[in-house]
Amino acid sequence: MQLRTLVVSRLALLSASLSAAAAVAAAEHRSVLLICVDDLRPELRCYGAQHMLTPNIDRLSDSGVTFDRCYVQVAVCNPSRASTWTGLRPDRLNVYTLRTHFRETVPDAVTLPQHLRAHGYTCESLGKIFHNPWPDPRSWDRPHAWGKGSYTNYTPEQEEFRRGVERGLPDDAWQKGNLRGVITNAPDIADEDHRDGAMTLLAIDCLRVHKEAGEPFLLAVGFTLPHLPWAPPKSWWDRYDRDALPLPENPTPPEGAPEVAVGTSYELSHYADMVEMPTPYSGTLSESQTRRLRHAYFASVSFIDAQVGKLLDTLDELGMADDTIVVLWSDHGYKLGEHNGWSKMTNYEIDTRIPMIIRDPHAEANGQRCGRLVESLDLYPTLCELTGVPTPADLDGRSAAPLLDDCGATHLDAAFSQFVRGARIGNAMRTDRWRYVEWRRLDDAGLESRELYDQQNDPQENKNVVEEHPDVADRLAIRMQQTLVPGPVDLKATMHSDTGGRRAAIRWRNRRQGEVRVTWVNPMGQRMQAIDLEAGEQRDYNTFVGGLFAVESLDGRYHEYVRVGEDDAEIELGGDGADTPSASHRRPVVDGSSQDKRKQKTETDGD
């Protein structure tokens, strides 16, 4: 067995236990209920969409501050969430794709829940907070949990339909072996029979436990709907008249936009009844198809709205509303036929703008709307300020807490978003009037195209006017490049497998008292195959010399990187640390170093 090199990192900030004085101070801090909704665009009644049935989010809006212009840093799940919860911009974090975990790019990043834990908070998560396969166990005091049940509730006939479509695909079709079921479903089930509904019940139980404990907490509740597939219970479909729903007002790609900017809508083509999904430049869905999909999305939003209402009701019933900050946030917006596109994955307003509502019981501007530009990055320092926890100095966001008392207070002059498509990166800036975008090559940062949209005269961004206003574009370019500095982008993560090593057969042996997950990190630094090993389990595994694996216990108390060496035949995991948590669920990080750098390790017991 090779020696393990201990990683010296910011995690040393997470101390073994709080001092008595810090514990007393922590008890005075307000708790946080963080509600994360996947793919939720600000098409809610409280944002002016009168056709939407969202009474519970609306009442949260009525009692909190509603941000009209909040923007994410990347309009796709994993990088948006990684940026928000680490407080680092994508170009600093180097996470742009779905498979790159921020722990492989900035191993010593301290997430918002980690930081709050270091200051006396109990932090736990349910559902989708970080990207689905990797809940980042070291961020939480307890193992991450999901609701029971199904997201789809497909019938046997629907399952057979999927199999039949897959059998009929050409052998070289990328969906072969990866095809999902139908994109919409209306199962006649109770709310709690959907996995998001079941998770709501778990969250309510968690709130009751925290009420009894009487200590400050962060409870992060992540709903998956309205992410695809859209399969909310039938009762929520029945609340809408499909024929009366509005159609997209701008169903064509922006005039003068480079094709790379518009995207491909490929996400929908994962599903059995949408394998022929056209790109925005190759075709258009029929009106009936458009109405079906929009109906499904709106029904999904109303279903989630009801779950939000159950959480708010619980806070009221338990007498916790006056001591709990409530945040509703989405990881990005979404297209429902706008620009002849579907899904997210662009730098446009429709994809980067999100609903965000913050209800601080002590804020003076509750019930008001805030029109200031705000970034998703701002949530980390905002919650630090609201909870009275010191704000880390190296965050990229800026606290929006002053806006909760004065919605007209000075904040940002611009919000920034980025998106990597193929060999190009789009850097975007939103100001009060303009959206400016540069598309550059990844390898040498060469500028290939620019976009400029006039929000004052063209709020739907239907025409690229960069040729009409070159002076404006040049001025905005100078401002944008102060924050998003042009340069080559290497998507390869810091931690990654080597290439060229010989094939090797190894045996994993888990010596911990609990389960561990072993995930192969490919040569680009992307997390791929994962296996779970029960306590004491051993398993044979075929890999190669130089292969890198991220190893972590699902309870967050143990994590390391293991690189397979020439002489490795059996690799023991977790054999040199205790498995029993302390009463506070916190133990110090062990810092040190070794000359053997083939394995790096950070081990904590609770952090």
pLDDT at 124: 97
Residue type, 226: P
Task: Look at residue 509 and give its three-state secondary structure.
Answer: strand
Best CA proximity match to 361, nearest among 394, 312, 397:
312
Could you say which of 367, 384, 404 is where a domain stops? 404
518 and 391, same domain (yes or no): no
Residue 237 covered by a domain? yes
CA distance 406 to 57: 22
Residue 39, domain extent: 22-154+185-255+285-404
Instruction: Supply φ then ψ for residue 428, to 5 degrees.
Output: -125, 150
The answer as to whether 434 is a domain residue is: no
pLDDT at 576: 55
Is residue 68 in some structural domain? Answer: yes
The pLDDT value recorded for residue 282 is 97
Asked if 396 and 518 sit in the same domain, the reply is no
Give yes or no: residues 230 and 363 share one domain.
Answer: yes
Q: Is 102 exposed, middle or buried (0-12, 13-18, 19+ CB in 10 A)?
A: buried
Q: Among 370, 404, 438, give the residue marking a domain's end.
A: 404
* Cα 336 versus chain centre, distance: 20
Residues 497 and 520 sit within 8 Å (Cβ to Cβ): yes
Domain C-terminal end among 404, 437, 458: 404
Place of tokens 């008392």: 405
Whether residues 244 and 366 share a domain: the answer is yes
**Tokens at residue 16, please?**
């073994």
Active site residues: 77, 131
Low-confidence ranges of the chain (pLDDT < 70): 1-28, 576-607
Structure tokens at 5: 């090199």
The Cα–Cα gap between 481 and 160 comes to 52
In this prediction, residue 255 carries a pLDDT of 98
Residue 167 lies in a domain: no
d(Cα 239, Cα 52) in Å, to the nearest integer? Answer: 10
Q: What is the pLDDT of residue 134?
A: 84
Whether 566 is covered by a domain: the verdict is yes
Q: Would 161 be classed as within a structural domain?
A: no
Are both 209 and 341 inside the same structural domain? yes
Q: Are residues 191 and 304 in the same domain?
A: yes
DSSP codes, 250-261: --SPPBT--HHH
Count of structural domains within the chain: 2
Q: Within a domain: residue 170?
A: no
Question: What backbone torsions phi and psi does residue 450 show, to the nearest 5 degrees?
Answer: -135, 155
Instruction: Take residue 21 and report the two structure tokens written for it.
Output: 């004085």
Q: Pick from 114, 73, 103: which is nearest to 374 by CA? A: 73
- What is the structure's pLDDT at 250? 97
pTM of the model: 0.91
Name the residue among 353, 345, 354, 350 with its Cα closest to residue 261: 345
Q: Does some domain include residue 138?
A: yes
Give the CATH number for residue 191: 3.40.720.10
Distance set, CA 248 to CA 39, 341, 457 (Å) = 17, 10, 19
Co-location of 513 and 398 in the same domain: no
- Rounded Cα distance between 471 and 110, Å, is 41
- In this structure, what CATH number is given to the domain that contains residue 529? 2.60.40.780
